[in-house]
């Protein structure tokens, strides 16, 4: 296929070519993969500024999206790519194959650097979903930082760099510029741009941005950063978000309220305990969905309200494909059981074949987990309807999952996102968090406190 770039794509490609360090913060759907591949192709074969490129990406993006993009466009026909995913033997074989660029999943960064005898001789590294390196204590971050001085050119790609607040930026830019813009140490970054928020005596639990600090941070990183929103550059389809509410029976409500109040649920199938706010929120979300894990890993089924609602939505779709996001494994098991009884075609979108089948219109229902399929996958060819069976606290995963359908290349004029909400449950608070773009952990704790207090905050 012939590549005819938009003006913003040409600008972004030239930005990557012109800067040894570049942070490309491009919204989902704007084509950051083809933008970067075009720059890599030019650097390899036009200016000869690089000779060997490493691309680090989420597993399915590494396995499917990058190779598919290379095969799709005519101007990339000279690029030789080797995808290093799978077993240890398969990865080693791929990394020892002669190629121009090597694609690895982020989970294997530490393995590549610390557990193989292969030379780390890549003169350019592309980190797809740079936000997955926001934790400076993670093994992948520490491993890549060991090799960072050897890398002459580096590109960081993400559409959600600060989903949990500006504190996330430090590690991402430390990886890019080794600390020259936001400081070499997280403590100095916090001191320069943040002030303590929640604390107990001398112990600080969280920080908030100091007055005027946000603008100072942006100025500090501005020379190596470009940021683009989809709505600024392309005509996106309309995005319609709705809530499909279900109501628990009095008996089901009593079970939910008992767990919320006592942190203990006694049920015929076993016992569930919730020791703190984080685990309690998970239990409450499970209850809202209709089942909950017991203390010994067993599943206690409580209601089928959301399953009934999902069945209604699929029937109303009248043969059009529906993408369903789930979180808990027992949700997946129960959804699969219901779909089997309905006799509709469905599959988890966890393999190259299932993704191709979805995009070809061969599935009525596609099932995705936001944590594993939320980044980078192009699913817009398969449909324009997304149903959130299970909600997530993570704004980043939420936005990225929606962007699987609401993106450039979506042929439908409207993308519909439906959220299954159990009325009067923690579902309602999660929706407020997502719509308010609050910091995940703080919002989670506050929401659970409100649930326990019975307040309306």
SS3 content of the chain, % helix, strand, coil (to 5): 45, 20, 35
Q: What is the pLDDT of residue 48?
A: 94
pLDDT band (50, 70, 90) for residue 229: low
- Please give the full DSSP string across 14-30, using - where no structure is assigned: HHHHH-SEEEEEE-TTS
pLDDT at 455 over 60: no
267-303 tens-digit pLDDT: 444 555 445 666 778 888 999 999 988 877 788 888 9
Query: How far is Cα 253 from Cα 300, in angstroms, rounded to an integer?
Result: 15
Does 162 lie in the same domain as 42? yes
Does 133 lie in the same domain as 252? no
Q: 241-263 burial string, b = 16+ CB within 10 Å, else e?
A: beeeebebeeebbebbbebbeeb
- 344 belongs to a structural domain: yes
pLDDT at 232 over 80: no
Q: What is the pLDDT of residue 296?
A: 78
pLDDT band (50, 70, 90) for residue 456: very low
The domain in which residue 12 lies consists of 7-233
- 180 belongs to a structural domain: yes
Could you give the count of Cα atoms lying within 13 Å of 14 in the half-sphere of its Cβ?
7
pLDDT band (50, 70, 90) for residue 445: very low
- Helix pair 169-177, 186-193: axis angle to 10 deg: 120
Least trusted range by pLDDT, from 218-222, 276-280, 349-353: 276-280
Does 250 lie in the same domain as 223? no
The radius of gyration computed from the CA coordinates of the chain, to the nearest angstrom, equals: 23
pLDDT at 442 over 70: no
Strands 101-105 and 194-196: unpaired
pLDDT band (50, 70, 90) for residue 159: confident
Does 411 lie in the same domain as 322? yes
Picking from 193, 218, 233, the residue at the C-terminal end of a domain is 233
Helix intervals (H) in 179-229: 186-193, 213-221
Least trusted range by pLDDT, from 185-199, 336-350, 432-446: 432-446
Q: Which H or E run includes 317?
A: helix 305-317
Mean pLDDT of all residues in the chain? 86
Of 239, 246, 289, 285, which is closest to residue 417 (Cα–Cα)?
239
List strand residue ranges (DSSP E) for 85-139, in order: 101-105, 124-128
DSSP 328: S
pLDDT band (50, 70, 90) for residue 451: very low
Least trusted range by pLDDT, from 79-83, 236-240, 321-325, 358-362: 236-240
Q: What is the pLDDT of residue 233?
A: 60
Q: Can you tell me the mean pLDDT for 124-144?
A: 94
- 2 belongs to a structural domain: no
Does 364 lie in the same domain as 349? yes
CATH of the domain at 425: 3.40.50.300
Q: What is the pLDDT of residue 257?
A: 86
Are 367 and 349 in contact by the 8 Å Cβ rule? The answer is: yes
pLDDT at 318 over 50: yes
Q: What is the pLDDT of residue 282?
A: 86
Beta-carbon contacts of residue 380 (< 8 Å; ≥ 6 apart)? 29, 404, 405, 406, 407, 408, 409, 410, 411
Q: What is the pLDDT of residue 226?
A: 87
pLDDT band (50, 70, 90) for residue 436: low
Angle at 423 between CA 395 and CA 347, to 5 degrees: 60
Query: How far is Cα 46 from Cα 198, in angstroms, rounded to an integer?
Result: 53
Query: How far is Cα 209 from Cα 194, in angstroms, rounded to an integer?
Result: 4
Supply φ then ψ for residue 2, to 5 degrees.
Answer: -80, 135
Q: What is the pLDDT of residue 414?
A: 86
Picking from 201, 233, 265, the residue at the C-terminal end of a domain is 233
More confident residue, 29 or 410: 410
Beta-carbon contacts of residue 159 (< 8 Å; ≥ 6 apart)? 25, 26, 27, 28, 32, 399, 400, 403
Positive or negative, the CA dihedral 27, 30, 36, 37 is positive
Q: Taking the model in full, what pTM does it have?
A: 0.62
Q: What is the pLDDT of residue 444?
A: 42
Q: Which long-range contacts (CB under 8 A, 24 or more apart) does 85-89 make?
A: 85/59
Does 315 lie in the same domain as 399? yes
Q: What is the pLDDT of residue 277?
A: 62
pLDDT at 264 over 80: no
163-217 tens-digit pLDDT: 567 888 999 999 999 999 999 999 999 999 998 877 777 787 778 889 998 889 8
Picking from 199, 233, 267, the residue at the C-terminal end of a domain is 233
As given in the structure block, the two tokens for residue 117 are 């005898």
Positive or negative, the CA dihedral 375, 240, 282, 300 is negative
Could you give the count of Cα atoms lying within 13 Å of 51 in the half-sphere of its Cβ?
3
Q: Can you tell me the mean pLDDT for 245-268?
A: 76
Q: Can you tell me the mean pLDDT for 324-352?
A: 94
Does 105 lie in the same domain as 56? yes
- 1 belongs to a structural domain: no
Does 413 lie in the same domain as 277? yes
Beta-carbon contacts of residue 243 (< 8 Å; ≥ 6 apart)? 418, 419, 421, 431
Does 389 lie in the same domain as 358? yes
CATH of the domain at 34: 3.40.50.10810
Q: What is the pLDDT of residue 439?
A: 44
pLDDT at 441 over 50: no
Least trusted range by pLDDT, from 86-100, 288-302, 329-343: 288-302
Q: Which H or E run includes 68?
A: helix 66-72
Q: What is the pLDDT of residue 438?
A: 43
């Amino acid at each position: 296929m012939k590549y005819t770039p938009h003006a913003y794509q040409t600008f972004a490609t030239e930005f990557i070519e012109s800067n040894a360090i570049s942070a490309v913060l491009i919204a989902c759907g704007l084509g950051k993969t083809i933008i970067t591949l075009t720059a890599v192709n030019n650097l390899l074969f036009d200016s000869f500024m690089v000779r060997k490129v490493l691309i680090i990406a989420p597993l399915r993006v590494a396995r499917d999206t990058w190779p598919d993009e290379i095969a799709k466009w005519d101007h990339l026909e000279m690029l030789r790519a080797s995808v290093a995913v799978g077993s240890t033997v398969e990865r080693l074989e791929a990394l020892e194959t002669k190629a121009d660029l090597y694609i690895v999943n982020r989970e294997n960064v530490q393995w590549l650097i610390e557990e193989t005898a292969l030379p780390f001789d890549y003169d350019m590294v592309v980190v797809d979903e740079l936000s997955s390196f926001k934790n400076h204590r993670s093994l992948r971050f520490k491993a890549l930082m060991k090799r960072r001085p050897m890398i002459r050119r580096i590109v960081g790609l993400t559409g959600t760099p600060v989903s949990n607040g500006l504190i996330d930026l430090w590690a991402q830019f430390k990886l890019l510029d080794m600390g020259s813009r936001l400081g070499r140490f997280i403590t100095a970054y916090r001191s320069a741009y943040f002030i303590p928020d929640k604390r107990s005596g001398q112990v600080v639990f969280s920080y908030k941005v100091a007055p005027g600090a946000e603008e100072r941070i942006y100025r500090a990183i501005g020379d190596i950063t470009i940021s683009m929103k989809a709505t600024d550059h392309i005509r996106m389809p309309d995005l319609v978000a709705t809530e499909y509410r279900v109501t628990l029976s009095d008996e089901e409500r009593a079970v939910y309220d008992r767990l919320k109040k006592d942190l203990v649920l006694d049920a015929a199938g076993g016992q569930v305990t919730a020791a703190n706010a984080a685990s309690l929120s998970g239990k409450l979300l499970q209850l809202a969905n209709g089942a909950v894990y017991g203390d010994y890993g067993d599943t206690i089924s409580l209601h089928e309200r959301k399953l009934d609602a999902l069945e209604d939505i699929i029937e109303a779709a009248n043969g059009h494909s529906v993408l369903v996001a789930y979180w808990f494994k027992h949700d997946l098991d129960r959804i699969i059981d219901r779909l089997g009884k309905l006799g509709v075609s469905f599959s988890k979108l966890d393999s190259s074949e299932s993704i191709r089948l979805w995009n070809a219109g061969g599935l009525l229902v596609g099932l995705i987990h936001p944590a594993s399929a939320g980044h980078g996958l192009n699913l817009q060819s398969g449909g324009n309807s997304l149903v959130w069976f299970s909600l997530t606290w993570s704004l980043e995963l939420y936005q990225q999952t929606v962007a699987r359908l609401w993106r450039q290349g979506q042929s439908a004029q409207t993308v519909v996102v439906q959220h299954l909400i159990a009325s009067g449950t923690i579902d309602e608070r999660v929706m407020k968090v997502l719509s308010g773009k609050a910091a995940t952990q703080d919002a989670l704790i506050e929401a659970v406190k409100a649930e326990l207090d019975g307040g309306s905050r």
